[in-house]
Structures are given as structure tokens and as C-alpha cells.
Amino acid sequence: MLITSLLLILGLALLLKGGDWLVDGASTLARKYRISELAIGLTIVAFGTSAPELVVNVLASAGGYADLAFGNVIGSNNFNLFFILGLSGLLAPVAVSAGTVWKEIPMSLVAAVALLLLANDQLYGAAPMMLSRIDGIILLGLFALFLFYIYRNMRTETSSPETQQTPRSTFKTVMLIVAGLGGLVLGGRLVVDSAVNIARFFHLSEKIIGLTIVAAGTSLPELVTSLVAVKKKSNDIAVGNILGSNIFNIFLILGISSTIRPMPFSTVFNTDITILLAGTVALFIAMFTGVQKKLDRWEAGLFVAFFVGYMVYLTLQ
């Protein structure tokens, strides 16, 4: 148990440093090529911070652990939305661009609705409910459409040119991003493995492990990256990271997982998906209350408080 605890601490340290490098590199890349930070956050940063979820889900799907795979993605998305975005808003009110309000937030809502419908579509047929290979292909198709939207966004939205900073070469910037992603993936892997070993020591169920410990562990890169981004006043990277990761998790990760092996779906997860839907709608509404297009501290506090209650509910369950 001592070695497991030390590996957990090492993983957290790698996550912290990796998140710092990734945000620095991504921000520099956005300024250098005048690409919007939101586009960088929705792609490079979101994909990098979702890498632990991808690794865990591919392994879980191949091994036939469907509850762990679903719990990881759904739990991670709720962790991202309520806890990470909430903590970011408590650290400093998070300003959100108009495009995010009307495009990216609705896209994350569409992803959650798609998961709910595809996972439950066997309600109207004779087959047991599952996320089939056809469902996986549909999710991957939706992911391709999302990437096309980002491609168009990168062409039409630009960031302000680099100012008052020593220019960093493209090679060094890319290496910084790669090092950051490597730290996040390795750190996330160490944290997840250590957390799961500790959880199994206390005899927790696969569903609870997936929705809580594994979900939180694989979301630590998003947590670190978003908090670092807010601290560095890169709000678009922070918000893009959260929304992009949630979209990646459903469209790409569950798409790949169910294409590798169809995954039986337990209806107990419908409650957790509904919570994700409600939270996304609440985020959209929050953009029009208080200071418009900004997640105020009191709203962020409500998100965190709800997440704590949600964790208590899962524990009691």
C-alpha cells in the first residue's frame, strides 16, 4: 500500500507539471499562428487531457468490463462539468465567448442526448440494450462532423498576435505540448492504477469505481489543465478543454470502445446521463444570469455543491 500511495503522489506531480507545460505550449501555438485559444482548447488540449479516458476505455471494452467503460466516460463528464468547471469558476469568474454559448455548449448537450438515445434504442426492439458497433460508427461519424466544425472555426476565428513575450520557436512549442501531453497521460495512468488498487482493497463495485475513482482519476488532467489555464487567464482554453473533453469522451472514446466490442448497457446509468444533461442545460442558463456570458463565483459554487451531493448519493447507493 505504501508503494501504491507513492505512485499516486508521483502521478499527481506529473499531472501538475504536464498541465502547466500543455497550457503554455497551446497558448503560444495559438498566438503564434493566430488560431483562437478556443479552437486549441477544443482540439489539442481536449484530446490530450482525454487520453487517459481513451486508454482506460479501450482496455475496459476489450476486457468486457462495460460498466467500467460507461462509468468512466459518464462519471468523467459529470466530474468535468460540475467539479472542474465549478472549481475554475470559484478560482476566478470564467468568461465565455458568444460562440461557446451558442455552439459548443449545445454540442456537448447533443453528445449527451446521442448517448442516451443510442444506448437505450433497444427499448423499441427485441435485442438487449447495448451500445452496438453500429452505434459506435454513428458516434464516430458525429465526431467527424465535430472535427469539421473545429476546422471551419480555426479558419474563421483568430487570436490576437503574440505580444510582449519572447518568441518561442515552433519546435520548442511543439515539444512543450508533447511533453505536457506525455506527463498528463503517464500521470493519469499512475493515478488511475493506484486509485483502482486502493478501491479494490476496500471492495468497491465496478460501477462505483468507474463513476467515482476511475472517472475522477482520468479527469485529473482536465482538472489541472483548466485550473492552470484560468490562473493564466486563458479562459477559452479552460472552457474549451472541458466542453471538448466531454464531446471527445462520448463521440470518440465510446465510439471506439463500442466499435471494438459491443457494450451491454445497464439502465442504472440513465440517471447519471440525465444529471449530465441537466448540468449542461444549467450551464447554458448560467450564461444569461448574473454577468452575461460568464460563470460567476456563486454559480460555480452551486455546481461544486451539487457535485458533492451527487458523490454522496453514489456512495449511499
Question: What is the average pLDDT across 152-177?
Answer: 65
Read off the pLDDT band of 40 (50, 70, 90). confident
Residue 63 clears pLDDT 70, i.e. is over it: yes
What value does the mean pLDDT of the chain take?
82
Residue 93 clears pLDDT 70, i.e. is over it: yes
- Domains of the chain by range and CATH? 2-316 (1.20.1420.30)
Highest mean pLDDT among 31-40, 113-122, 197-206: 113-122
8 A C-beta contact, residue 250 and residue 112: yes
DSSP SS3 for 125: coil
Read off the pLDDT band of 39 (50, 70, 90). confident
Residue 281 clears pLDDT 50, i.e. is over it: yes
Residues 6 or more apart in contact with residue 283 via CB below 8 angstroms: 81, 85, 105, 295
* Per-residue model confidence as pLDDT tens digits over 130-141: 899 999 999 999
pLDDT of residue 124: 45
* Per-residue model confidence as pLDDT tens digits over 184-213: 778 877 877 777 777 777 777 767 877 887
pLDDT of residue 122: 61
Read off the pLDDT band of 157 (50, 70, 90). low
Highest mean pLDDT among 25-34, 56-65, 119-128, 154-163: 56-65
Higher pLDDT, 164 or 282: 282
Task: Look up residue 230 and give its three cell numbers.
Answer: 484560468
Residue 167 clears pLDDT 70, i.e. is over it: no
pLDDT of residue 155: 56
Comparing CA positions, the residue from 171, 205, 180 lying closest to residue 315 is 205
Higher pLDDT, 142 or 205: 142
Residue 100 clears pLDDT 70, i.e. is over it: yes
CA distances from 270 to 81, 98, 232, 267, 306 (A): 17, 31, 37, 5, 18
pLDDT of residue 36: 72
Question: What is the average pLDDT across 6-33?
Answer: 78
Comparing CA positions, the residue from 305, 317, 312 lying closest to residue 86 is 305
pLDDT of residue 161: 47
pLDDT of residue 119: 92
pLDDT of residue 37: 66
Residue 233 clears pLDDT 70, i.e. is over it: yes
* Per-residue model confidence as pLDDT tens digits over 261-279: 999 998 889 999 999 999 9
Whole-number Å distance between alpha carbons of 29 and 35:
8
